[in-house]
Amino acid sequence: MPDQRFAEIIAFAHEAGHLKQTVRSGWLLAGVRNPESVAEHSYRVGILAFVIAACEGANPDRAATLGLFHDLPETRTADIPSVGKKYVRTTPPHDIVADQTASLPADLAERITAVVDEHESAKTPDATLESRCSRDADKLECLLQAREYQQEGHQQLDEWVRSSTEAMTTATGKALARAALEVSPGAWWGAFARAVGR
């Protein structure tokens, strides 16, 4: 029988893995039949948070960690689209994460809870620069995903594009959002394909 501490960490890892099956339900409103999972979203948020923080002079490792963990509570609540938030009241993320980590070693539980709390504080006056970078990454990832779905032919995404663009707070986030409106989602491989074809 494994050490109980490690058994609890594995149980926690299985719960976190549930985000791979939890769809980002807001995209269903735009007619996307097979939307990304919360885990897929969080992966790119972590990368973007690292990049934004590095450009802003913040701690990129911390910002990436905030981005990676920011939607962890959704294993217990699922992803509630913005139109549903007016009607559904959920437990605050701090309380959910405290429950999710209650069986973990205390120092590990405190670290995970602090990460989610810091991301959630991004809109407060005492927000860290890392939390603002992580929140911008969350919004930028949504913008990129909306642009990718638009390229697939989905037409009802203008509101996602607009609101995500307007939500940016850092100079880097704002600049990246402007670029995202101009750069085609296929630009990264198109240039490579043209170069190889020469």
**DSSP assignments along 118-162, one per residue:** HHHGGGSTT--HHHHHHHHHHHHHHHHHHHHHHHTT----HHHHH
CA–CA separation, 196 and 38 (whole Å):
34
In the numeric block, the tokens 């972590």 are attached to: 46
Residue 119 confidence (pLDDT) = 98
Across the chain, mean pLDDT equals 95
Q: Looking at domain 4-196, does it have CATH number 3.20.20.70?
A: no
Paired tokens of 70: 């920011």
Residue 193 confidence (pLDDT) = 79
98-146 residue pLDDT tens: 999 999 999 999 999 999 999 999 999 999 999 999 999 999 999 999 9
55-70 residue pLDDT tens: 999 999 999 999 999 9
136, 173 in Cβ contact below 8 A?
yes
CA–CA separation, 191 and 138 (whole Å):
27
Its pTM stands at 0.94
Nearest to 104 by CA among 1, 7, 8: 8
**CA dist list (Å): 125 to 34, 56, 104, 128, 166:** 38, 18, 31, 9, 19
